[in-house]
Amino acid sequence: MRELIRINQPFLGKEEIDSAVDVLRSGVLTDKSGMGPRVLEFERSFAKYVGAKHAVAVVNGTAALHAALLAADVRPGDEVILPSFTFVGAVNSVVLAGATPVFADIDKDTYCLKPESVEECVTRKTKAIIPTDLYGLPSDLKSAVDLAKNKGLIVIEDAAQAHGAQYDGKRVGSVADMTCFSFYAAKNLTTGEGGMITTDDDEYAQALRMIRSHGEQRPYWTVRLGHNYHMSEIAAAIGQAQLRKLPGFLEKRRKNAELATQKLEMSGKLILPKEPDGRRHAWYVYTVRLRGVNAAKRNKIVDKLWNKNIEAAVYYSTPVHSTPFYRDSNVARKGRLPETEKASRQVFSLPVHPRLGEEEMDFVADMLRKAIA
């Protein structure tokens, strides 16, 4: 039986192992301000890579979003517009900041926020917009930034799946007011668990560094509400080694995505992922859509792939607004979300991570074609 082809898999080697061992030998595992030597090195390298002035490392991607909302002074009574077609971490972060999530609909082709829907959601209470770069594709950042400037709002980009993606020739992380990344084990770049916020704004950067360390301006001098969101020195050392490999990872992901497209484009039943002008995909996963089917039929196809040891995945079969907590409480506000609900019934994702070669990509495509035939 063929070994399971995972939807995503960390690609770790000698460099990451040696870096982690070096930290253990040094005896410096963390720093009470969250700014140990490895963390500072990783922050500087990451900021340079994305083209931002500042990068602030934290313990995970949800912490990055929560810290960014606190730095933006989002508080009770405020509203934050974001998609329901996303991982719940972003929405939970808004609630944890005391604000109200307001769900906007998605674009049917990109699965990212639909600008017209975002505009319809703006009220006098709106404080921020969180555009999500889904599956590795940047959101329509220009629309979000232009609307924010016009309405006096803050743009906090959720780039948890989009390390190395580009928008209008700029790397994601250098466009929005703040951009949040996740370094969870399955991401394009991993530290095991970890996160980063990038920004060009000095005041946001200063606030973020205090927020990740209990709001302390200096040791035992708390000036604002904060949390313990420190990244460990081992995580930062692994991240630094991964960052050096990221361009190669992205090249392999793109090649695998192109192979998938070549193999699947003749299937009339599948809608394949698009890469709009001015946006360069990071190919976290390769997400396809079955034309005109319901969730049960889609799930049968996914089950058939699993039976062939291909870990196809559905992101997201239940949009956040339909999960029990958000459905049954009044913590969020939503309008009509037809494209969100339609996508949740029809999409599923295939692996294109850099551990896969042409033979595996051929197998994935062949099995999918047979499953839908």
Among the candidates 221, 241, 261, a domain finishes at: 241
Amino acid residing at 192: G
What is the CATH number for 270?
A: 3.90.1150.10
Residue ending a domain, choose from 241, 263, 293: 241
Q: Do 148 and 257 sit in the same domain of this protein? A: no
In a domain? residue 177: yes
CA dist list (Å): 62 to 174, 181, 336 = 19, 9, 26
Do 101 and 199 lie in one domain? The reply is: yes
Residues 139 and 40 reside in one and the same domain: yes
CA distance 348 to 345: 9
Whether residues 236 and 251 fall in one domain: no
Q: Please check whether residue 303 lies inside any domain of the structure.
A: yes
Look at residue 293 in the predicted model and tell me its pLDDT. Answer: 85
Contacts for 278 with CB less than 8 Å, ≥ 6 apart: 167, 168, 169
In a domain, 343, yes or no: yes
Residue 292 in domain: yes
> What domain range is 67 assigned to?
14-241
Answer yes or no: is 3 within a domain.
no
The verdict on 173 and 252 lying in the same domain is: no
Structural domain tally of the chain?
Answer: 2
Nearest to 245 by CA among 76, 14, 2: 14
Provide the pairing of β-strand 216-218 with 221-222: antiparallel
pTM over 0.85: yes
Task: For residues 137 and 284, state if they share a domain.
Answer: no
In a domain, 5, yes or no: no
Residues 154 and 255 both lie in one domain: no
> Could you state, in chain order, the average pLDDT of each consecutive group of 10 residues for the chain (373 residues)?
93 97 95 91 98 98 98 98 98 98 98 98 98 98 98 98 98 98 98 98 98 95 96 98 98 98 92 96 98 94 98 98 96 94 98 97 97 92
Are 224 and 262 in a shared domain?
no
Residues 26 and 54 in one domain: yes
Q: Residue 4 falls within a domain, yes or no? A: no
Which of 241, 273, 294 is where one domain is finished?
A: 241
CA distance 313 to 196: 26
- Is residue 186 located within the same domain as residue 261? no
For residue 32, the model assigns a pLDDT of 84
Residues 164 and 100 in one domain: yes
* Domain containing residue 236: CATH number: 3.40.640.10
Is 337 within the bounds of a domain?
yes
Residue 315 to residues 26, 164, 218, 283, 296: CA-CA distances in angstroms?
41, 21, 42, 14, 15
Report strand pairing: 279-280 vs 54-58: unpaired
